[in-house]
């Protein structure tokens, strides 16, 4: 059974940093692309970032480019999102999502971790 | 950036009725479109991928159609558990974008 478990969400001040983690199990982690998708309170879904299976290719939404860094450790079956220079508008539930084989379609999602940026 | 427009914003229907949800893209997506269902407090769930392929475990009452710029998600006969918000997502190029969602609520 595929499981994705996010952690690291908390209250952080504007301008601060945070690292989110997503522990994966139930599939061969190193052979699938992974993404972070976020959802501000009461709002819709927003794709934030994607990393290829090897970690060699990364992609970012303009809203996070230059501030967020996606990475993965295939030896630990874990996905990361390093978030720097956080803003109030980054407040959201952050979901990690597994890709389907060979496609940027998210077939499994974690339950999410809440990041609140506020003073 | 490809913009996805979903209509209607809200669809009020009764159990047993047919639901037809639309997703329109600002440029040709071929068939690179997926549909997701999200219930309050839950993560999204994949329903349809590549415009018309049902994901694993999704009931046959859910179907997707369309290509290019116009796509449709149809729920043939609404069950109580189908009242939720539905999002479309394209994977044609970067950045990936979601539509704003259609809420299907109980009439």
To the nearest 10°, report the CA torsion of A46, A17, A35, A2.
-120
Average pLDDT of the residues of chain B: 97
Question: Which among A90, A67, A75 is positioned nearest to A23, based on CA atoms?
Answer: A75
DSSP H or E stretch at residue B40: none
Which residues of chain B are under the pLDDT cut of 70? none
DSSP H or E stretch at residue A29: none
Question: Which among A28, A33, A78 is positioned nearest to A56, based on CA atoms?
Answer: A33
**pLDDT at residue number B45:** 98
A106 in contact with B, Cβ within 8 Å: yes
A27 in contact with B, Cβ within 8 Å: no
Q: Which of residues 45-84 of B touch A (CB under 8 A)?
A: 45-46, 49-50, 55-56
Residue B87 and residue A45: Cβ atoms within 8 Å? yes
Residue B98 and residue A100: Cβ atoms within 8 Å? no
Confidence of residue A87 (pLDDT cuts 50, 70, 90): very high
Q: How many CB atoms are closer than 10 A to CB A63?
A: 15
- Give yes or no for a contact between A54 and A2, defined as CB atoms under 8 angstroms apart: no
Residues of chain B found within 8 Å of residue A112, distances taken between Cβ atoms = 43
Nearest CA in chain B to A63: B95
Question: Which among B47, B56, B55 is positioned nearest to B23, based on CA atoms?
Answer: B47
**pLDDT at residue number A102:** 84
Average pLDDT of the residues of chain A: 97
Residue B91 and residue A105: Cβ atoms within 8 Å? yes
- pLDDT tens digits for range A91-115: 999 999 999 998 899 999 999 999 9
Please name the residues in contact with B73: beta carbons below 8 A apart, sequence gap of 6 or more.
B19, B20, B21, B23, B35, B47, B48, B62, B63, B64, B86, B88
Task: Give CA–CA dist A34/A37, Å, rounded.
Answer: 10
Over residues A64-69, the mean pLDDT reads 98
- Give yes or no for a contact between B20 and B74, defined as CB atoms under 8 angstroms apart: yes
- Give yes or no for a contact between A59 and A71, defined as CB atoms under 8 angstroms apart: no
Residue B50 and residue A103: Cβ atoms within 8 Å? yes
What letter does residue A2 receive in the DSSP assignment? -
Residue B38 and residue A45: Cβ atoms within 8 Å? yes
Residue A100 and residue B49: Cβ atoms within 8 Å? yes
**pLDDT at residue number B53:** 97
* Ramachandran quadrant class, B72 (left: phi over 0; alpha: psi -120 to 50; beta: rest): beta
Q: Which of residues 48-67 of A touch B (CB under 8 A)?
A: 50, 59-62
β-sheet bridge partners, residue A18: A83
Residues of chain B found within 8 Å of residue A95, distances taken between Cβ atoms = 43-44
């Amino acid at each position: 059974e595929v499981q994705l478990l996010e952690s690291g969400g908390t209250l952080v001040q504007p301008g601060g940093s945070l690292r989110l983690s997503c522990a994966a199990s139930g599939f061969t982690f190193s052979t699938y692309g992974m993404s972070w998708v976020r959802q501000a309170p009461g709002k819709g879904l927003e794709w934030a970032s994607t990393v290829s299976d090897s970690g060699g290719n990364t992609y970012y939404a303009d809203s996070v480019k230059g501030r967020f860094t996606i990475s993965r450790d295939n030896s630990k079956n874990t996905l990361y999102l390093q978030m720097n220079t956080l803003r109030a508008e980054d407040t959201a539930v952050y979901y990690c999502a597994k890709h389907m084989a060979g496609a940027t379609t998210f077939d499994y999602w974690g339950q999410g971790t809440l990041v609140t940026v506020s003073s | 950036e490809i913009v996805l427009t979903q209509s209607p914003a809200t669809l009020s229907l009764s159990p047993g009725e047919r639901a037809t949800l639309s997703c329109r893209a600002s440029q040709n997506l071929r068939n690179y479109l997926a549909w997701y269902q999200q219930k309050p407090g839950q993560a999204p769930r994949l329903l349809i991928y590549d415009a018309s392929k049902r994901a694993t475990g999704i009931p046959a009452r859910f179907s997707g159609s369309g290509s290019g710029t116009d796509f449709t998600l149809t729920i043939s006969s609404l069950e109580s558990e189908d009242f939720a918000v539905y999002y479309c997502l394209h994977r044609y190029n970067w950045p990936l974008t979601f539509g704003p969602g259609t809420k299907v609520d109980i009439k």
